[in-house]
Amino acid sequence: MATVEPSKNVRIVPSGQVYRQMFDAQLQLNRSLSRYDTESRLQRLKSRELTHSQSLPLIRLDHEDTQHGILTSRQKTWIGGFPNDPYVENPVLYKQYSEYMTQKLQDTETSQAGREVRGLPDVVVPKKHGSDIVERIAESRKQRYESAVEDMHQELSVISAEMEPLIEELSAKLLDKLAEDDKDIATVLRRIDDDEMLLTYDLKGILALWDEVQAHSPKRQAWILEMDKELCKLEAERMNKIRDVFNRYGEKMHKIAHLMKPDLQRSLDKDSQMINQTMLSNQRSYADLYVRLVSADVEREKAQRTVWRRRLEEWKKLNTKLAVESFKEFMATPAVVSPPGVENVRWSLITDQEVLNRQRLELVETLCDMKPPNATKSAVYRWRQDMKTLTSELDNITQMHMSKLHEEYEKVCQMCLEKVESIRSALVDSGICSTHRVGQVMDEFMLPLVGEQQRVFEHELEVMEKAIEDHCAHLDREMAALFKFSQGAAHVWDSHEIGLARQERALQEKLETARRTHDQANQEKEAHLDIVMDRMRQDASELALKDSLVKALTMLDKIRETYEEFHEQQVEIVKTYPDMVQDELSNYENGVCSYFSVGRWPVRPTDMTKCIGFCSMAQWLECRNNDQTVAGFISNQDPCYYCSTKAIYPHFPQSTH
């Protein structure tokens, strides 16, 4: 601090009163020192009690004690020495010796003051009239003033030294609290670091976790506000202490009277202004610290909120992914891929088709029993009608089961859509997805799977319907070919029957013609016989009777001869009938061989008892069913399975099997 030049105006006292004034001043000085030491000791004890558990004890030293350094030459020697050095004095022994001598030579302050007073001379005689007492008083005041200023600065430094540890302690406590609270918050947030642990939470749990994190913010802000208030209290306490120091040293400096009161006030105002600026700077720093701490806490909460929001989004993504995976697993289950209802309908369809197909095969096998004379067109038409009835029934059953398959597939698709809707509701109700987002998830991941499965079902139904249509068309062609073939075979037999009937009618016509001719001739003879018989009844003589009898017998002989000729003629006509039938049989044989594309080989006489010389249509069909192929008949010349007729069966169209 800048020193102010002492005033030139001094008070000159008579030389006889100089020593008296010096005595009074010395006495006043001793009392002031004693009071100051007592107050300083009490203040140090009080300060030590306050700061005993907070910081190291403070040592108050005057300017005279510290102008040559704090350590003495002996202490400097101790510092420069090495342990167990024989050439360096042992400080412990020196301390014990010093304490012993201090206790031995210790006197009270009162005895010291009395001894100093008794040491004053009884008679004060000035050595000369022109004394420099004024200069020495001014110098003494100056020294005391500077010492007081130095002491005041030292006390201000002591106050700062006392306050700084408290401020640091408050700051350290706050930092410890915040660090501990950060650990607690980190522990809370660490619960959702792992994805597996994150999936164990629901939306309420995650929101409750953030509420738990957010609950730390009011407590932290309360700590910051409390520290700000404590700092304000410390600053107020510092200000009070500084005010007390200024008041005390202001009075002391005023009593020293080194400076005039205005100059002294001006000097103290400068110092107080500097301190006020420092205090204001401290207050601004505290306010800035408070703002920074609150801002940092807000940023901390914001960053943690960002982390929590990120984990919340990841939680939503993970749950959405799990929902999609569960739906994919559901779509891969047998209930969707191969539904039991569909399998039951298929087995039912197969069972019903097997029953009807067995009936149809039995109906086809009835063709084997369709032998002449039963192999007629009407029988073939009845067989065709029965086959159409069975085929229609089979088609109806197939269509019914296909409708059931459609219904079962629709049920499966509806079940998939219900599963999608349940997942949608679960995602929305649990807060995993919003309505818009869950729609996107459904459209992107789930509905395509349902559509793909529906296309698979439609393809299966289409393939099945196509196969059934192709099979039905093939069977219709086969049945039509078989019907046509059977109809042709029946037509051969019908033609044969018609030929036989025609031959029989021709025979009847010949017989009737012969009978009519015989009857006409016989009627004339019978008429002559009747005339003769009438004459016999009218004759009266024996001769006339004998003559009429001879005529009658002659007529009867002629009639008998006519009948014998008629009989012979009838026999001749009837004898021609086997040849006529044989011709028809030959025509029938040629027709059969031509229709069935077979050749006739000569037969043995013994074989005639077994077969008429050719196979029937049913026998031929049974031969075909028993796989007696063309090559076998050509190479081995095996007899027919039923009639032992040796025949060659050439290739026949596949459609006539």
Q: Give the model confidence (pLDDT) of 539-554 as tens digits.
A: 777 888 888 888 888 8
In this prediction, residue 88 carries a pLDDT of: 65
In this prediction, residue 86 carries a pLDDT of: 66
Interval 70-121: pLDDT, tens: 667 767 676 666 666 666 677 777 777 777 777 766 655 566 666 666 665 5
Q: What is the mean pLDDT of residues 521-542?
A: 81
Top mean pLDDT of 64-73, 206-215, 476-485 is at 206-215
Top mean pLDDT of 113-122, 407-416, 637-646 is at 407-416
For residue 237, pLDDT over 70 is answered with: yes
Of the listed ranges 146-150, 185-189, 626-630, 635-639, the least confidently predicted one is 635-639
In this prediction, residue 305 carries a pLDDT of: 92
In this prediction, residue 588 carries a pLDDT of: 79
Say how many residues make up the chain: 657
Please give the single-letter amino acid code of residue 565. Answer: E
In this prediction, residue 618 carries a pLDDT of: 45
3-class DSSP state for residue 616? coil
Q: How far is Cα 238 from Cα 276, in angstroms, rounded to an integer? A: 11
**Looking at per-residue confidence, does 568 or 654 come out higher?**
568
Q: What percent of the chain has pLDDT over 90?
A: 9
Please report, for the chain, the start and end positions of each structural domain, with discontinuous segments joined by +.
139-331, 335-596, 599-657
**Looking at per-residue confidence, does 581 or 623 come out higher?**
581
Q: What percent of the chain has pLDDT over 70?
A: 74
Of the listed ranges 157-166, 237-246, 478-487, 629-638, the least confidently predicted one is 629-638
Output the six-digit token pair for 600. Answer: 């006739």
For residue 429, pLDDT over 70 is answered with: yes
**Looking at per-residue confidence, does 347 or 51 come out higher?**
347
In this prediction, residue 641 carries a pLDDT of: 33
**Looking at per-residue confidence, does 191 or 55 come out higher?**
191
In this prediction, residue 82 carries a pLDDT of: 66
pLDDT classification of 5: cutoffs 50, 70, 90: very low
In this prediction, residue 233 carries a pLDDT of: 92
pLDDT classification of 303: cutoffs 50, 70, 90: very high
Q: How far is Cα 356 from Cα 347, in angstroms, rounded to an integer? A: 14
CB hemisphere CA count around 422 (13 angstroms): 9
For residue 299, pLDDT over 90 is answered with: yes
In this prediction, residue 11 carries a pLDDT of: 42
Report whether 160 contacts 237 (CB < 8 A): no
Residue written as token pair 């720093």: 285
For the entire predicted model, the pTM comes to 0.55
For residue 281, pLDDT over 50 is answered with: yes
For residue 472, pLDDT over 60 is answered with: yes
For residue 175, pLDDT over 70 is answered with: yes
Q: How far is Cα 239 from Cα 170, in angstroms, rounded to an integer? A: 18
Q: What is the mean pLDDT of residues 16-36?
A: 61
In this prediction, residue 605 carries a pLDDT of: 44
Q: How many angstroms separate the most distant Cα atoms in the chain?
A: 258
Output the six-digit token pair for 575. Answer: 């004898």
Interval 356-411: pLDDT, tens: 888 888 888 888 777 777 777 888 888 888 888 888 888 899 889 889 889 988 99
3-class DSSP state for residue 332? coil
Q: How far is Cα 264 from Cα 257, in angstroms, rounded to an integer? A: 9
For residue 645, pLDDT over 80 is answered with: no
Q: What is the mean pLDDT of residues 15-35?
A: 61
In this prediction, residue 46 carries a pLDDT of: 59
Q: How far is Cα 237 from Cα 235, in angstroms, rounded to an integer? A: 5
Residue written as token pair 């509905």: 447
CB hemisphere CA count around 193 (13 angstroms): 7
For residue 508, pLDDT over 90 is answered with: no
Residue written as token pair 């439609």: 458
Interval 551-608: pLDDT, tens: 888 888 888 888 888 888 888 888 888 888 888 788 878 877 877 777 766 554 444 4
What is the overall mean pLDDT for the chain?
A: 77
In this prediction, residue 488 carries a pLDDT of: 82
In this prediction, residue 64 carries a pLDDT of: 56
Q: Which residues pair with 639 in a beta bridge?
A: 646
For residue 630, pLDDT over 60 is answered with: no
Report whether 416 contacts 450 (CB < 8 A): yes
DSSP E strands in 143-298: the ranges are none
For residue 284, pLDDT over 70 is answered with: yes
Q: What is the mean pLDDT of residues 155-162?
A: 88
Residue 264 CB neighbours (<10 A): 18
**Phi and psi (nearest 5°) for 103?**
-65, -35
Please give the single-letter amino acid code of residue 505. Answer: R
Interval 164-174: pLDDT, tens: 888 899 889 99
